[in-house]
Amino acid sequence: MAEETVIVTEEGLKELEKELEYTKTTRRKEVAERLKEAISYGDLSENSEYQQAKEEQGFIEGRILDLEKKIKYSKIISGKNGKGTNVRIGSTVEIKNISSKTEEKYTLVGTTEADPLSGKISNESPLGVALLGKKKGETVVVDAPSGKFEYEILEIL
């Protein structure tokens, strides 16, 4: 089975590594302590603290595996190389909604780093897909779950 490449910025990779380190050290120890305490209560078959700690331990171990996989298969894209004639991952794009005349600014990133509230949209989102490969001055139609929207690309930074 071929593994899928995880597209991240250098900053995003550092965040993944930081979360992995914290999860492996601090979170694992916290759950181990909770398990130890719950075991000291005796009968494990009716011990809700033990059951919750075991579930959390499973979640943490799953998250560690997920983070390790993302780091292993990451491909770093540089935001500095985002400026160009066409929109690509790493590009910051200023767009204008044709109907509402509002202007917005987004940076295209991989799905791991997507955070629309911070202006980072995934290359796999409806807007990201519509913008990829387009040039300044072009108009794109975005078929989003809430309807169709038309945007003009004002600038590619």
Q: pLDDT tens track of the chain, all 157 residues?
A: 457 888 888 888 999 999 999 999 999 999 999 999 888 887 777 788 888 999 999 999 999 999 999 999 999 887 555 456 899 988 999 999 999 999 999 999 999 999 999 999 999 999 999 999 999 999 999 988 888 999 999 999 8
What range does the domain containing 100 cover?
Answer: 78-156
Domain count for the chain, please give it. 2
63 CB contacts (<8 Å, ≥6 apart)?
A: 23
The pLDDT assigned to 42 comes to: 77
Do 82 and 15 fall within a single domain? no
Taking the C-alpha atoms of residue 73 and residue 84, their distance in angstroms, rounded to an integer, is 26
Domain boundary among 24, 57, 76: 76
The pLDDT assigned to 2 comes to: 56
Do 22 and 63 fall within a single domain? yes
For residue 1, being part of any structural domain is answered with no
